[in-house]
Amino acid sequence: MLKLTAARLARESFSQLARVPAGRQSRDRSRADVPVGGRAVVMAMAAAMDGFGTEGLDFPTETSLEQWKLEHVARDIYRRSVASARIREEEDPTEECVACEGGWEASVAVLHRETHVAYLTKSLRHLSAGHVVLDASRCWLCYWIVHALALLGEPLGDDAARDVVEFLSLCQHPDGGFGGGPGQMPHLAPTYAAVACLAEIATLEAVECVDRAKCVAFLARCKDTSTGGYRMHEGGETDTRGCYTALAVARLLGVGSDAELRDGVGAFVAKCQTHEGGVAGEPGAEAHGGYTYCGLAAAVMCDSAHLMDLPELTHWLAHRQGAVEGGFNGRTNKLVDGCYSFWQGGAFPVLELASGAVLRAMGGAEGGAEGGADRRAGATRERRRGAGNEGGEGNEGGEAIASDASSNAACALFPAAQLATQPTRKTNTAGSNVFATPSFSSRALQGWLLLCCQLPNGGLQDKPGKGRDHYHTCYCLSGLSVAQHWGGDGLVGPATNLLERTDPLVNVTEARLAEWTRLVAQLPKI
């Protein structure tokens, strides 16, 4: 049984980076060799950061400087947001957005739902000339836009739905699978994107668009029998992306239990797990957030999660959450990125599914997946009614309650320790209390996405200053849905922030997935 505490999930200390042992200078450069101007910049940043992360850093690197800059930007955004809310409250304490149960959060941590919908809806009909570089990602563009609209609860409309289905049919290859665009070779990545997009539409027309028999045959042709993994296309590279996309498509097409498709996948993924605990694209490569999600989800879908070191995986995932920013990065010593809100944040509910399967195999779990789903649905309803305050409030004195100091690390300044939560026991899908405390700060993640990643004119971005795009809009919203529904820390902001619930394994909204599954079940067996 996995028992994870905030103490085990403490952030990596920046004081360990570039440390020079006492009494010894670098053979390449001494401290005196650092340009005065460079030292002044570092010291100024250190002062701005209250000294965070500067202990023992004799020679700041470009990476560490970029990290400090981003932390400073995030802190400034959070401080200004709290200050703005306080000013508004002082000016008008009866103002609805301030006086409501959400408190300060409701006035600043607001999802700009209408502008996001406008941005996405326009993109369905018109894309700028710059999108020509994404000609091989046209199925992906359909998925990113349609899924994001589904998360926002925005109906696609019959005409738009038919147009999307018709376009995706043009991307389907005569021999099975989908290419990135019309006339392009079949590839597992756009095949997943096309099928997941059709699942979000979930009409009979969308279901009948897929030639299921030929698509399954394409999946079989991509199987690498020598490794147990999947090639991204016939004759292409074998990696964990192929494992995930193939099994996710099989699951959506109702053939997820096919033994031939699942055979060897778990063993291949286990070989891709690194010494860090994360998962690489292939054995011997570096652990990466996207590959970790894909590998873990693939292992769960083929009932092979027991082959992985789940405690180490969880430890690695938890360390990817920024101590100041609240978002996730994809690799060690990299900057946080909005898209990893799903690739890393979404891995936690998948990890719960994995640990639940292991417990059931050991005979230690009570109840089943259905019971766990019912409990989660009940918790969602409670959050809707309570405007998101359950389990996420500070104590009466304004001090956050946490199991230890490190549990507050990821949400230290969003704002002034108010994002920390009381340790809670979470019930996984197997019905067993696996996690003693939240394994990541979902409130800090929500704060990062709402205040640092979304743009008032619509769309979401990688990080402040990067600019919006459909990819980050889709996965930032997917991560926000995960944080709201699976985090266990309560909803940040007003009740109107609540997104539709996404399925963590295939990243299709649960309501549309249920309808799609019903329609697929009515079709003849392949």
Q: What type of residue is 70? A: L
Q: Which residue, 302, 304, 305, 330, is CA-closest to 316? A: 330
Copy the structure tokens of residue 252: 């959506």
Residues 239, 462, 489, 503: which is the catalytic one?
462
Residues 147, 173, 262, 472: which is the catalytic one?
472
Instruction: Show Cβ contacts of residue 125 under 8 Å, excluding neighbours closer than 6 positions.
Output: none
Cβ–Cβ < 8 Å for 439, 6: no
- The gap from C-alpha 289 to its chain's centroid, in whole angstroms, comes to 9
- Known catalytic residue at 466: no
3 state DSSP class of 243: helix
Residues 11, 79, 131, 334: which is the catalytic one?
334
3 state DSSP class of 524: coil
Q: State phi, psi for 72 to the nearest 5 degrees.
A: -65, -45
Cα separations in angstroms, 58 against 12, 20, 41, 193, 196: 18, 7, 13, 47, 49
Residues 239, 337, 489, 503: which is the catalytic one?
337
Alpha-carbon torsion angle 285, 290, 296, 302, nearest 10: -100
Which value, in Å, is the radius of gyration of the alpha carbons in the chain? 23
- Known catalytic residue at 126: no
Pairing of strands 426-427, 230-231: unpaired
- Known catalytic residue at 383: no
Residues 142, 222, 339, 411: which is the catalytic one?
339
Residues 78, 340, 471, 475: which is the catalytic one?
340
- Known catalytic residue at 472: yes
Query: Residue 371: left if φ>0, alpha if ψ -120 to 50, beta else—which one?
Result: alpha
Residues 139, 209, 469, 470: which is the catalytic one?
469
- Known catalytic residue at 485: no
Copy the structure tokens of residue 182: 């019309």
- Known catalytic residue at 337: yes
Cβ–Cβ < 8 Å for 196, 507: yes
Residues 75, 147, 288, 383: which is the catalytic one?
288
- Known catalytic residue at 469: yes
The three-point CA angle 478-167-521 to 5° equals 65
Catalytic residues: 288, 331, 334, 337, 339-340, 462, 469, 472
